[in-house]
Structure formats: structure tokens, C-alpha cells
């Protein structure tokens, strides 16, 4: 079983409009509401593949009730800890050109007692003998009230139980989480740039792969077992115990990119849990990330695009000094 943690879930509301008029009235052609937050998107994707999973997190208020009801409707197993604050909402606006704007509320403030109840549920899931945990995913932002080292503590609890962790967060929470030794971390370019303090763009504004590789290697030296960097439409670059790898989709996918990184995280966790070799993990991750862009809302993906992408994605081992 894969244990997925979403400490700051949300009710995701997505509006599709022909074009955005920031000074006038916008009428949506389609509106979607789904349980969201990065961890919830990961759990929904894993569930779509028939992977045994459970979503743990913190929910409160009427929005939290809507998230819980949405997960139940989608048949995604969840054991959520009730809190007194109101779960946040996120609003995504997508126009006909595929331009996306995302508006995130901050979420509730969590008390020490509420987080202690969550940790008890998390520890119980890690040590379950009925459904043993094969991997843990820690994904998304920390809600207010939680210490910046909270993910590091959850990584350590998993390590003590012998369960590998995939960590997908940002900033100081990511830095401290890396020091605790997760199996995989998955920053995007902006998160890697913030963490490493390095310029990662080339003269044309694309990713400078040499700089990205060096920055990613520094995260592995800091404690991560492997680092998989999302390059957006350019695919993935991975620094692993089995060398450096580059996974590239055949063409840039168009649509709503919100949640594409969560699809990548889900594929990496799935590959970790079932023991896929790195080149296959990355093939599935790149294909699933592109297929998520082709779906209307985060946490979903186009099955046809995914199936086509598996044969179209190229995965190559990179021979660069930072990987040695």
C-alpha cells in the first residue's frame, strides 16, 4: 500500500473561459470541482491505476466536508483528521490558448493537538500489518501552524518503519526534508533554483541542463536518495544511484498543466513501490505527466495520451561528471 499525505488539501475549482477579461465579466464555458491539493491529486492518480493506497491529511469546515465527500464519490480511500479551521479552496482559470492562472487560499491554522492526532494516524498506517506500507508520498505545502521541519519528521518516522519516501514540496520544508533522507525528491525548476541559489536558465530562456544537473546533484549530496527534476514540457532529468537519466516526451502537451507534476510524483511512487528500474519509472512518469496536461482538471489524466506516450517517450542515460 502507498500512504499518501496531504497536509493542506483543497477543494479545487477549475473554470474554462474562451479568454480572460481582467477588467470585465468572465463567463465560464465549463466548471469543475474536485478534491485537490497535491497529495490528493497523487492519491487520485494512483487509485486510477488500481494501486492500493490511502490518503491521510487534515480537513475542516464545510470545504473539508466537500473534499471528504468528493473523495468518497471517487472511491479514493482516505483517513482524514478533523481540524477546527476551514479547508482552503483553489481556483484555476484556463483559457482557449491553454494559459493557466492559479489562485490558492492559505488554508487553516493547525494546532499542536490536531497535528498530534494526525501523526498518530500516520504512524499507525506505517506500521499496519494488515496492509503493509510499501512507500510514502509527502506532497504539497504545509498549512499554517506547522513547523517548517514537519516533513523532515514524517520522513524520519517512515525511515524508522523501513518505508521509503517520495517528497514533493518546496522551500525550507524541502531543504529540511532532504536532510532526513527521503528516497526521492521531485522539485521543479523554480523550486530547484530557490533551493540551490543557482541560475538554471540558458541564453534562450530554456533550462541549462548542465546547471540543472549540478544543482540536482547537490540535493542528492545533501541527503536525497534520488532527485527527479521536472523540466516542464521538456520532460524530466533524474540523478539517481543508478546514474543520470533524461526522459523526454515527443512533443509539448497542450492543455491544463496544473497537476502534471503530481502525476509525475504518482508514477515515481508507483515505480518505487513495485520495484521498476529507473529507466522505466521515468518513462511512465514522463508519459503520465504529459497525459495529465491533456485532462481538464488536476488529479486526472488522458488514458489514451498516457498509453501513446509510453512508446513515444525517450529515456537516455546522461554521461556527465555530476552523475559520477
Contact 219, 227 (CB under 8 A): yes
What nine digits make up the cell of 138? Answer: 509527502
d(CA 212, CA 15): 34
Distance CA 299, CA 237 (A): 22
> Alpha carbon 321 to chain centroid distance?
28
Choosing from 96, 168, 202, 262, the catalytic residue is 262
The contacts of residue 120 (CB under 8 Å, 6+ apart) are none
Q: Which residue has the cell 494512483?
A: 46
Is residue 262 annotated as part of the catalytic site, yes or no?
A: yes
Cell of 194: 530557490
**Cross-strand pairs, 10:** 36, 88
Q: What is the 8-class DSSP label of residue 205?
A: S
Kindly state the helix (H) or strand (E) to which residue 71 belongs, with its residue range: helix 61-73
Give the number of other Cβ atoms within 10 Å of residue 180's Cβ.
20
Q: Which residues are annotated as catalytic?
A: 262
Amino acid at each position: 500500500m502507498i500512504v499518501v499525505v496531504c497536509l493542506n488539501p483543497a477543494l479545487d475549482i477549475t473554470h474554462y473561459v474562451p479568454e480572460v477579461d481582467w477588467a470585465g465579466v468572465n463567463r465560464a464555458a465549463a466548471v469543475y470541482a474536485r478534491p485537490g491539493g497535491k497529495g490528493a491529486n497523487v492519491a487520485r492518480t494512483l487509485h486510477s491505476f488500481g494501486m492500493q493506497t490511502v490518503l491521510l491529511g487534515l480537513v475542516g469546515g464545510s470545504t473539508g466536508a466537500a473534499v471528504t465527500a468528493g473523495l468518497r464519490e471517487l472511491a479514493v480511500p482516505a483517513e482524514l483528521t478533523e481540524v477546527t479551521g476551514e479547508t482552503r479552496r483553489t481556483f484555476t482559470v484556463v483559457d482557449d490558448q491553454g494559459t493557466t492562472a492559479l489562485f490558492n487560499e492559505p488554508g487553516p491554522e493547525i494546532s499542536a493537538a490536531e497535528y498530534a492526532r494526525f501523526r498518530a494516524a500516520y504512524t499507525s498506517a506505517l506500521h499496519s500489518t494488515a496492509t503493509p506500507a510499501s512507500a510514502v508520498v509527502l506532497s504539497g505545502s504545509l498549512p499554517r501552524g506547522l513547523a517548517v521541519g514537519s516533513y523532515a519528521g514524517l520522513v524520519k518516522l517512515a525511515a524508522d518503519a523501513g518505508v521509503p519516501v517520495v517528497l514533493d514540496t518546496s522551500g525550507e520544508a524541502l531543504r529540511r526534508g532532504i536532510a532526513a533522507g527521503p528516497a526521492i525528491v521531485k522539485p521543479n525548476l523554480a523550486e530547484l533554483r530557490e533551493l540551490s541559489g543557482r541560475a538554471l536558465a540558458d541564453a534562450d530562456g530554456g533550462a541549462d541542463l548542465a546547471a540543472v544537473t549540478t544543482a540536482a546533484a547537490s540535493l542528492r549530496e545533501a541527503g536525497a536518495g534520488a532527485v527527479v527534476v521536472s523540466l516542464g514540457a521538456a520532460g524530466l532529468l533524474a540523478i539517481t544511484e543508478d546514474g543520470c537519466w533524461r526522459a523526454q516526451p515527443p512533443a509539448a502537451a497542450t492543455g491544463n498543466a496544473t497537476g502534471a507534476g503530481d502525476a509525475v510524483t504518482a508514477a515515481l511512487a508507483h515505480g518505487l513501490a513495485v520495484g521498476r528500474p529507473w529507466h522505466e519509472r521515468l518513462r511512465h512518469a514522463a508519459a503520465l505527466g504529459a497525459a495529465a496536461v491533456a485532462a481538464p482538471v488536476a488529479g486526472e489524466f488522458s488514458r489514451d495520451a498516457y498509453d501513446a506516450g509510453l512508446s513515444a517517450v525517450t529515456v537516455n542515460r546522461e554521461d556527465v561528471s555530476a552523475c559520477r
